[in-house]
Amino acid sequence: MRIWDHTTGKVVVYNSSFQVSQGRCLAIVGESGSGKSVTCRAIMRLNTFKMRQSGNIRLNGVDLAELSEADMRRHRGRHLCLIMQNGMRAFDPSSPVGSHFRDTLWQHYGWSRSQITSRMAKAMGSVRLQDPVALMNKYPHQLSGGMLQRMMIALAIVLEPTLIIADEPTSALDTLSQYEVMEQLIALRAETGCAMIFVSHDLSLVQRIADDIVVMRDGEILEHGTTADIFSGTRHEYTRHLLEAKQRLNRNFSNRMGGLQHVDR
């Protein structure tokens, strides 16, 4: 896939290519601006108008790049689900969150209101959200970032998409919510058997969830391997630099915490 800004001609992703199989999680890592988010949005065909893309995006034999906009809309949600950094942006601020669930599930499955409520309530229970019916009547601004992310995960549990793309899903959360949302994402994979693309700056999160890793820099894939190989084997100099930067951060953190040992999970 190639992605460029057609107003300036600037290429932001050069001929990148990767695949993720059902049941596996591929992490995309790299510094800010390396092209992780535009790649995720290109798979969903959700980049802004000025961004253009070429190449194939195959999902179970269907080339998403060839679909009409109407067919692509039908694929989003049903077959592909995007969990973004900021849960708030996924919802319409002027409606209760339950209406987003109803619209999405009605559009893809045609279920009745009561079917949707009972399926969502069950899924919300499984991501440890209490009192789901009351929560569905709340507006997005009345809920915390962690709750909104867990609601998106609950929706994904009900939709059972083939591929879930989680783009920095925990980076806007406090440490406790981050931990909980990660646990739920790990459970979501196990429950639905979906394929997952997980984007994060945080290599300890990547190590916990990913089977495979793609390392990007300046719009190019530098390295692609299993998580075990990337963390232990011979690595590209840039990947080593990313890992060492993280270890340095951890050491600084430990020193500031009075010499407490920080253990990498």
Ligand X SMILES: Nc1ncnc2c1ncn2[C@@H]1O[C@H](COP(=O)(O)OP(=O)(O)OP(=O)(O)O)[C@@H](O)[C@H]1O
Binding mask 30-69 for ligand X (x = CB under 6 A): x-xxxxxxx---------x-xx------------------
Please, which residue, 33 or 193, has the CB nearer to ligand X?
33
Give yes or no for a contact between 97 and 91, defined as CB atoms under 8 angstroms apart.
yes
Nearer to ligand X, 33 or 125 (CB): 33
Element (H, E) at 178: helix 175-192
The CA distance from 121 to 136, in Å, is 9
Closer by beta carbon to ligand X, 37 or else 184: 37
Q: How far is the CB of 32 from ligand X (least distance, A)?
A: 3
**Total interface residues for ligand X by CB under 6 A:** 13
Q: Which is nearer to ligand X, 12 or 27 (CB)?
A: 12
Say which residues have a Cβ less than 8 Å from residue 158's Cβ, sequence separation at least 6.
Answer: 101, 105, 119, 120, 123
Map residues 13-32 to x or -, x wherever contact with ligand X holds by CB under 6 A. -----------------x-x
Cα separation of 4 and 187, whole Å? 36
Instruction: Kindly tell me which of 172 and 209 has the beta carbon lying closer to ligand X.
Output: 172
CB of 265 to ligand X, least distance (A): 21
Phi, psi (rounded to 5 degrees) for 174: -75, 170
Q: Which of 1, 4, 12, 84 is close enough to bind ligand X by CB under 6 A?
A: 12
Give, as one character, the DSSP assignment of residue 72. Answer: H
State the nearest-atom distance from the C-beta of 48 to ligand X, in Å: 4
d(CA 162, CA 165): 10
Q: How far is the CB of 219 from ligand X (least distance, A)?
A: 7
DSSP per-residue string spanning 99-164 = HHHHHHHHHHH---HHHHHHHHHHHHHHTT-SSHHHHHTS-GGGS-HHHHHHHHHHHHHHH--SEE
Shortest gap between Cβ of 53 and ligand X (angstroms)? 12
CB of 216 to ligand X, least distance (A): 7
Residue 41 or 189 having the CB closest to ligand X: 41
Interacting residues toward ligand X by CB under 6 A? 5, 12, 30, 32-38, 48, 50-51
